[in-house]
Amino acid sequence: MKKEIKYWIILLIPFVFIYLKWDEFPEQVAIHFNINGEADGWAKKEVGVLMGPLMNIGIYLILLIIPLIDPRKLNYALFEKKYGSIRLIIHLFFLFICFIISAEALDYKINTSQWMQIGIAGLFMVLGNYLKAVKPNYFVGVRTPWTLENETVWKKTHNVTAKLWVTLSAIVLIIQLFVFVSWIMAPYVIIIATVPIIYSFIEYKKIKKQES
């Protein structure tokens, strides 16, 4: 239970903030923004303000249950501390998003789209540092048919993906902090999502060719 306290604190922080600022929130809160940071989706404040913190609680429960139901659950013991760090990073990311949504609703002068994109790039940059430690499982990491089939492919793919995520995310993060290129996220997401899949397929085929 002591290990979970830090997660509970992170989950509680936005509810305390929302309670203190409740009367200052408008009746309609922006919950979606276009690439220019302009609001184009709205919800009642009961939904818009509380959606993020409640979603974070849902994610907490999912991440807590995953090691118990994974067919390869014994492998989680091999990267238990790293998994705990991954959980923490994800909750901090959603806490960050909660405050960005709240800042927009409270009419703070920020570019919401810019800070959302900074948060996403920061998330994958930090997560990349933990990928190498993740052992084969069905929920965490780069899970393709080829990484799940072969442990060598799993290891090589995670090593390459870790370098890709850290390097590319750092570049995007710096760009978005100092220049803000609104369209950059589309190619960024495509690259970090597709390269690991393609790489794992190629490596798997190489190994099978060597074995035959």
Given a contact cutoff of 8 angstroms between Cβ atoms, the answer to whether 30 and 39 are in contact is yes
Given a contact cutoff of 8 angstroms between Cβ atoms, the answer to whether 168 and 123 are in contact is no
pLDDT of 1 reads 78
Q: Is 194 exposed, middle or buried (0-12, 13-18, 19+ CB in 10 A)?
A: exposed
DSSP state of 42: E
Angle, CA of 18, 22 and 25, to the nearest 5°:
105
Range of the domain at 123: 2-211
pTM of the full predicted structure?
Answer: 0.91
- From first CA to last CA, the distance across the chain in angstroms is 50
Number of domains in the chain: 1
pLDDT of 167 reads 98
pLDDT of 62 reads 97
* 44 strand-pairing partners: 28
In the predicted model, residues of the chain with pLDDT beneath 50 are none
Given a contact cutoff of 8 angstroms between Cβ atoms, the answer to whether 48 and 29 are in contact is yes
